[in-house]
Amino acid sequence: MQPVLGVLLALAAAFGSGHRSPLNDFQRLRATELLAMPGDPPPPLPEQGTAEQCAQRCASSLACRAFHYDQQSQLCQLLPWTQHSPHIQLQKNIRYDLYQKKGQKVPGSSPTHSAASRFLPSPRNGLEENYCRNPDRDKRGPWCYTLDPSVRHQSCGIKKCEDAVCMTCNGEDYRGTVDHTESGTECQRWDLQHPHKHPYHPNKYPDKGLDDNYCRNPDSSERPWCYTTDPGREREYCRIRICKKRPRPVNVTNGCFRGKGEGYRGRVNVTVSGIPCQRWDSQVPHKHHFLPEKYPCKDLQENYCRNPDGSEAPWCFTSRPTIRIAFCFHIRRCPDEQDAEECYHGHGKYYHGHVSKTRKGITCQPWAAQTPHVPQISPATHPEAHLEENYCRNPDNDSHGPWCYTMDPRTPFDYCAIKPCCEPLPTSLQS
């Protein structure tokens, strides 16, 4: 590709839609930096700016392939490498996020094949017939010389395996890189609030895989979806291939429930207070979208208590018109999980228990520690909040309940697997 054409395409991509963020062209790796070997020319000095301004600068420079972004001091450093460049190492560094240009969409930034005549077929290098191959590890994937005299070579556009990742069930576990909706609209990044404001910030939902602008299903919708870069269309489903293999089996229990009870397959069909549950295949008295045929892995049989949406425990719609849903906390927890028996009142501001793990099982960071995260809330700032050891607490009365900073450098904080003592709404039904 001619450099001039590359610049034009980059500009067209940048300005083609006023609502598209320049960050859309980048993949983020949290708390990571790229290290060059000593002796390589140093990258440009850091400059002040927002992450988006940084992305804009990087996009309009053909030499730039990635950048470090320091959120705290709003500094960015443009880099001429990616993690796939020779002599480059990835390293954890909690000060930076690393943004790398998404490979296949960056015109002009990959090595040209000008020296390509050295790619001569041999029995071992796989250059047979006229098949698409990738002897120079072009990041756009396999390519070939073309029969059109004006086009020396061209990428064959073969999908990367990760793009071909398929989904099972309702795609809650889908972690592929489809970043367009089924109408072809580009997705909005989950870590941005424009053009659409939304509640699914990646830091708040660390277990939902809300990476970059990829299609995901954080809210138990029917299929993966995303907010779109079109201001007139808030969100839309994505087309993701369905796997041929069977879904990962859940840990099925019958007489008790484990974790959040997603594998509970027992026959309890009344609420704690004895109200019969509404059948899942009925829309009376409560209208809902949990149709058994749309949620094939969730076993929405009869009117049994189930957890199809990642709520804290099995629940059901009730047969009473004035009570839409109720948890089925009268189902016992399995005996190997006695630790999780604790509960909290209200938002858990006065929870003083000893749970010290997040809902994902990550160990909490001690409140008095400064690593891996520098806490804004500490025993010094909140002396009344009982911030002891690394126990889950709710010093700021967060509406999602007790939380903690975590020992995982990539997860600044998360909520703890402690249940409210009374019955709140299942997560998918809260407004």
Element (H, E) at 67: strand 66-70
CA 379, CA 394: separation in Å to the nearest integer?
12
Which CB, 170 or 394, lies closer to ligand NAG? 394
- 137 touching ligand NAG, by CB under 6 A: no
Contact range with ligand NAG by CB under 6 A, out of 70-78, 267-275, 288-296, 419-427: 267-275
SS3 424: coil
What angle, rounded to 10 degrees, do the helices at 51-59 and 3-15 form? 150
Minimal distance, residue 142 CB to ligand NAG, in Å:
37
Identify the residue among 95, 137, 239, 267 touching ligand NAG (CB under 6 A): 267
Contact range with ligand NAG by CB under 6 A, out of 72-80, 265-273, 359-367, 373-381: 265-273
Based on C-alpha coordinates, what's the Rg of the chain? 26
Identify the residue among 3, 397, 422, 430 touching ligand NAG (CB under 6 A): 397
Instruction: Write the single-letter amino acid at 318.
Output: T
Contact range with ligand NAG by CB under 6 A, out of 42-50, 175-183, 262-270, 385-393: 262-270
Q: Which of residues 162-221 bind ligand NAG (CB under 6 A)?
A: none
CB 424 within 8 A of CB 347: no
- 347 touching ligand NAG, by CB under 6 A: yes
- 361 touching ligand NAG, by CB under 6 A: no
The 289-318 site mask, x for binding ligand NAG (CB under 6 A), equals: --------------x---------------
CB atoms within 10 A of CB 215: 24
- 394 touching ligand NAG, by CB under 6 A: no
Contact range with ligand NAG by CB under 6 A, out of 20-28, 171-179, 343-351, 405-413: 343-351
Instruction: Write the single-letter amino acid at 25.
Output: D
CB atoms within 10 A of CB 47: 14
Both tokens of residue 402? 């007790």
Which CB, 276 or 361, lies closer to ligand NAG? 276
Minimal distance, residue 101 CB to ligand NAG, in Å:
37
Contact range with ligand NAG by CB under 6 A, out of 108-116, 269-277, 283-291, 351-359: 269-277
- CA-CA-CA-CA torsion for 189, 195, 196, 199, nearest 10 degrees? 50
The 3-42 site mask, x for binding ligand NAG (CB under 6 A), equals: ----------------------------------------
Of 332, 326, 402, 322, the residue nearest 367 (C-alpha):
402
Q: Which of residues 225-254 bind ligand NAG (CB under 6 A)?
A: 251
Q: Which residue sits closest to ligand NAG, CB atoms considered?
A: 276
Give the interface size with ligand NAG as a residue count (CB under 6 A). Answer: 11
CA 356, CA 400: separation in Å to the nearest integer?
16
Long-range contacts of 114-118 (CB under 8 A, 24+ apart): 116/145, 116/153
Minimal distance, residue 258 CB to ligand NAG, in Å:
6
CB 365 within 8 A of CB 372: yes
- 265 touching ligand NAG, by CB under 6 A: no
CB 144 within 8 A of CB 134: no
Report residue 420: phi and psi, to 5°: -65, 145
Minimal distance, residue 233 CB to ligand NAG, in Å:
33
Contact range with ligand NAG by CB under 6 A, out of 75-83, 341-349, 384-392, 423-431: 341-349
DSSP 250-316: P--BSSSB-TTSTTB-----B-TT-PBBPPTT--SSS--S--GGG-TTS---TT--B-TT--SS-EE
CB 75 within 8 A of CB 89: no
Q: Where are the beta strands (DSSP E) in 119-211?
A: 143-145, 153-155
- 421 touching ligand NAG, by CB under 6 A: no
- 336 touching ligand NAG, by CB under 6 A: yes
- 271 touching ligand NAG, by CB under 6 A: no
Identify the residue among 231, 247, 276, 321 touching ligand NAG (CB under 6 A): 276
Interface residues with ligand NAG (CB under 6 A)?
251, 267, 269-270, 276, 303, 336, 346-347, 349, 397
